[in-house]
């Protein structure tokens, strides 16, 4: 009886594994054509009115890390099958909840990135688009300076996921 169940499970699971391996590259919803081997990521300069010295470097590296961890693409400097370039166009901190004493009870850090994605193998999949994400925080217990690096890291995770999905999951 158990041999029969194992045999049936094997008949179902083995073909599913073969189908998963046969069509291009898929990971985390990404669909990267098999002929795409390389990608380049240019430095994203911070052109916002508020400049955080390390933001450009951290965002650019976060995007590279997203590509490394969720694809098989090799990151090279130039002449790649696809290319990401752009700029950080906005970095702002605004109050979102005012307390009775006219002080901000909750603030919002927003980062907006303009991205140009070029796919040399399938030019119709290229795009130019702004991506924006935010994180709310309070300065009641910790100052902005104490929280800023963590907030930026969390927003970078969200932004790079959005950009990666737009380029490789076609949404």
Query: Is 72 part of a structural domain of the chain?
Result: yes
Choose among 66, 151, 153: nearest CA to 115: 66
Residue range 3-44, pLDDT digits in tens: 655 555 555 554 444 444 434 434 445 678 899 999 999 999
DSSP H or E segment with residue 26: strand 25-27
Instruction: Evaluate whether residue 11 is within a structural domain.
Output: no
Give the model confidence (pLDDT) of 46-82 as tens digits.
Answer: 999 998 999 999 999 999 999 999 999 999 999 999 9
* Structural domain contains residue 156: yes
Q: Are 94 and 112 in contact (CB under 8 A)?
A: no
How many helices (DSSP H) and strands (DSSP E) are in the chain?
Answer: 3, 8
The reply to whether 25 falls in a domain is no
**Considering the domain boundaries, does residue 161 fall inside one?**
yes
Residue 1 lies in a domain: no
> Phi and psi for 13 in degrees, rounded to 5?
-75, -40
- Total structural domains in the chain? 1
Residue 143 is assigned to a structural domain of this protein:
yes
Span 118-168, pLDDT tens digits: 999 999 999 999 999 999 999 888 888 999 999 999 999 999 999 999 999
Please report whether residue 153 resides in a domain.
yes
What is the model's pLDDT at position 105? 74
Task: Residue 117: give its domain's CATH number.
Answer: 3.30.160.150
- Expressed as residue numbers, the domain containing 142 is 35-168
Note whether 167 and 129 are within 8 A (CB): no
Mean pLDDT along residues 91-101: 82
């Amino acid at each position: 009886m158990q041999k029969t169940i194992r045999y049936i499970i094997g008949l179902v699971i083995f073909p599913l594994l073969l189908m998963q391996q046969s069509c291009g590259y898929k990971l985390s919803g990404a669909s990267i054509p098999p002929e795409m081997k390389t990608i380049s990521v240019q430095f994203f300069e911070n052109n916002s009115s508020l400049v955080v010295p390390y933001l450009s470097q951290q965002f650019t590296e976060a995007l590279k890390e997203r590509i490394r961890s969720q694809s098989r693409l090799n990151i090279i400097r130039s002449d790649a099958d696809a290319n990401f370039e752009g700029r950080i166009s906005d970095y702002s901190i605004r109050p979102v909840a005012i307390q009775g004493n006219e002080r901000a009870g909750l603030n919002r850090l927003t980062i907006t990135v303009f991205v140009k994605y070029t796919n040399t193998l399938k030019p119709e999949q290229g795009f130019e688009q702004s991506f924006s994400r935010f994180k709310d925080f309070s300065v009641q217990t910790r100052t902005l300076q104490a929280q800023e690096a963590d907030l930026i890291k969390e927003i970078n995770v969200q932004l790079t996921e959005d950009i990666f999905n737009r380029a490789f999951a076609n949404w």
